[in-house]
């Protein structure tokens, strides 16, 4: 089947087309604020401005027309209200105009499912680290369950906030990654793991303090990465141990980071697990991931009346039935 996926929960508006086997196209446009963080209304204006072009190019690149679609999927939440409304309105309009079924999709589900599609992971423990989220997720009893998560800001958000203090625009993660390569001294930062949960606001505050004390910026970036990545890898390792699964999937925007990728690989190798790392191109928000999750939902019986496609800013991954994974432990 051929599925169009529309994504636009935060900084990026994107349209992707997939079928059962592959990604046929994926076109994105990212809103970069002139100063400060992402302003929801400005991001929504950007999305409304670009959405037609992004969808058109996605069809052109795939060599398809809207009539060829079997399903339209869009990201229903979580995310910024004004941005979610732009995407849901476009998706509903397309669905009505071309008489195509419509499904609202959970955004984190997209991150995980595109990772599984591209890597071939079957039933992994997922480390999903992005701007807004830092979660360790496992499929148990018919759903993805969140075993542990951040109690305050997402890891990516912490990196972006610190980058902003350095005068670096969004996304800050890639620049911090480059600066960290020249860091040598590991500065002490709060290592906050409580059971399976994590916390990053204390690390951010401490890093900001080092900055005001004039510490070497590369050392701070290096220490930020080493400390926060060690925390999430520790939780991941514990989740592997508790659940008896043997595959790992790393997903979300921060999964583009090579230092994190190598730490996950090292842990997997030392403990005899198989690590799958989402293709870097599809770690950040993209339409193809929403199309992929929507396709799996549709193939397994999910249907939504247009009235059921209301956006949900607090939509959690554990609200979605996931019958396409047969869990050996359930
Ligand atoms: P969520 O998925 O929680 O809704 P989001 O959609 O805003 O959050 P993504 O697009 O998945 O987030 O990821 C964006 C985040 O990834 C940003 O915080 C960005 O700084 C971070 N990021 C991107 N590349 C890198 C990198 N190389 N190293 C570290 N972080 C990175
Ligand atoms: Fe995301």
Rounded-to-integer distance, Cα 150 and Cα 309, Å: 28
Write the residue with the smallest CA distance to atom 5 of ligand 1: 131
CB of 150 closer than 6 angstroms to any ligand 1 atom:
no
Q: Degrees (nearest 5) of the Cα angle 246, 253, 12?
A: 140
Rounded-to-integer distance, Cα 203 and Cα 193, Å: 12
As assigned by CATH, the class of the 123-280 domain is alpha beta
The strand pairing partners of 16, in sequence order, are 5, 26
Pick from 288, 10, 260, 300: which is nearest to 132 by CA? 10
Rounded-to-integer distance, Cα 182 and Cα 81, Å: 39
pLDDT of residue 293: 98
pLDDT of residue 327: 66
pLDDT of residue 154: 97
Closest ligand to Cα 157: 1
pLDDT of residue 37: 82
pLDDT of residue 328: 65
CB of 115 closer than 6 angstroms to any ligand 1 atom:
no
Q: Which of 11, 177, 253, 277 has most ligand 1 atoms within 8 Å of CB, for mutation?
A: 253
CATH domain 3-111+283-319 topology: Nucleotidyltransferase; domain 5 (3.30.420)
CB of 177 closer than 6 angstroms to any ligand 1 atom:
yes
pLDDT of residue 270: 97
* Phi (first) and psi of residue 66, to 5 degrees: -55, -30
pLDDT of residue 330: 45
Ligand 1 center to 66 CA (angstroms): 30
**Per-residue model confidence as pLDDT tens for the chain (330 residues):** 999 999 999 999 999 999 999 999 999 999 998 887 889 999 999 999 999 999 999 999 999 999 999 999 999 999 999 999 999 999 999 999 999 999 999 999 999 999 999 999 999 999 999 999 999 999 999 999 999 999 999 999 999 999 999 999 889 999 999 999 999 999 999 999 999 999 999 999 999 999 999 999 999 999 999 999 999 999 999 999 999 999 999 999 999 999 999 999 999 999 999 999 999 999 999 999 999 999 999 999 999 999 999 999 999 999 999 999 986 654
CB of 77 closer than 6 angstroms to any ligand 1 atom:
no
Task: Name the residue with tokens 């196209």.
Answer: 25
Taking ligand 2, which is a single-atom ion, which protein residues have CB atoms under 5 Å away? 130, 285
Write the residue with the smallest CA distance to atom 3 of ligand 1: 132
pLDDT of residue 34: 82
Closest atom of ligand 1 to 78 CA is 4
Task: Name the residue with tokens 């911090």.
Answer: 176
Residues recorded for the chain: 330
Q: Do domains 3-111+283-319 and 123-280 have the same CATH topology?
A: yes
Domain ranges within the chain, ordered by starting residue: 3-111+283-319, 123-280
CB of 159 closer than 6 angstroms to any ligand 1 atom:
yes
Ligand 1 center to 156 CA (angstroms): 5
CB of 130 closer than 6 angstroms to any ligand 1 atom:
yes
Ligand 1 center to 210 CA (angstroms): 24
CB of 124 closer than 6 angstroms to any ligand 1 atom:
no
Write the residue with the smallest CA distance to atom 4 of ligand 1: 132
Q: Degrees (nearest 5) of the Cα angle 114, 154, 220?
A: 115
CB of 253 closer than 6 angstroms to any ligand 1 atom:
yes
């Amino acid at each position: 089947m051929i599925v169009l996926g529309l994504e636009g929960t935060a900084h990026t508006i994107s349209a992707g087309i997939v079928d059962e086997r592959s990604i046929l196209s994926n076109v994105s446009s990212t809103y970069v604020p002139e100063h400060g963080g992402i302003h929801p209304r400005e991001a929504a204006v950007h999305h409304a401005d670009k959405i037609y072009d992004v969808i058109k190019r996605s069809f052109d690149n795939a060599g398809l027309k809207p009539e060829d679609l079997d399903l339209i999927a869009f990201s229903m939440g979580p995310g910024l209200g004004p941005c979610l409304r732009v995407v849901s309105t476009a998706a509903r309009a397309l669905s009505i105009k071309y008489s195509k079924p419509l499904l609202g999709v959970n955004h984190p589900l997209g991150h995980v499912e595109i990772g599984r599609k591209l890597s071939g992971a079957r039933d992994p423990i997922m480390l999903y680290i992005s701007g807004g989220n830092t979660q360790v997720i496992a499929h148990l009893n018919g759903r993805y369950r969140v075993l542990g998560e951040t109690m305050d800001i997402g890891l990516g958000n912490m990196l972006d906030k610190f980058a902003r203090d350095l005068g670096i625009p969004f996304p800050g993660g890639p620049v911090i990654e480059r600066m960290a390569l020249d860091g040598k001294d590991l500065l002490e930062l709060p290592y906050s793991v409580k059971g399976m949960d994590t916390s990053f606001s204390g690390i951010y505050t401490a890093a900001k303090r080092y900055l005001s004390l004039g510490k070497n910026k590369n050392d701070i970036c290096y220490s930020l990465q080493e400390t926060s990545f060690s925390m999430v890898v520790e939780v991941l390792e514990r989740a592997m141990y508790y659940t008896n699964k043997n595959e790992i999937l790393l997903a979300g925007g921060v999964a583009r980071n090579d230092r994190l990728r190598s730490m996950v690989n090292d842990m997997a190798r030392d403990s005899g697990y198989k690590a799958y790392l989402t293709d870097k191109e599809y770690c950040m928000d993209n339409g193809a991931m929403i199309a992929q999750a929507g396709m799996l939902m549709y193939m397994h019986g999910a249907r939504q009346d247009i009235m059921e496609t209301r956006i949900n800013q607090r939509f959690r991954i554990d609200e979605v039935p996931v019958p396409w994974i047969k869990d050996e432990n359930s």
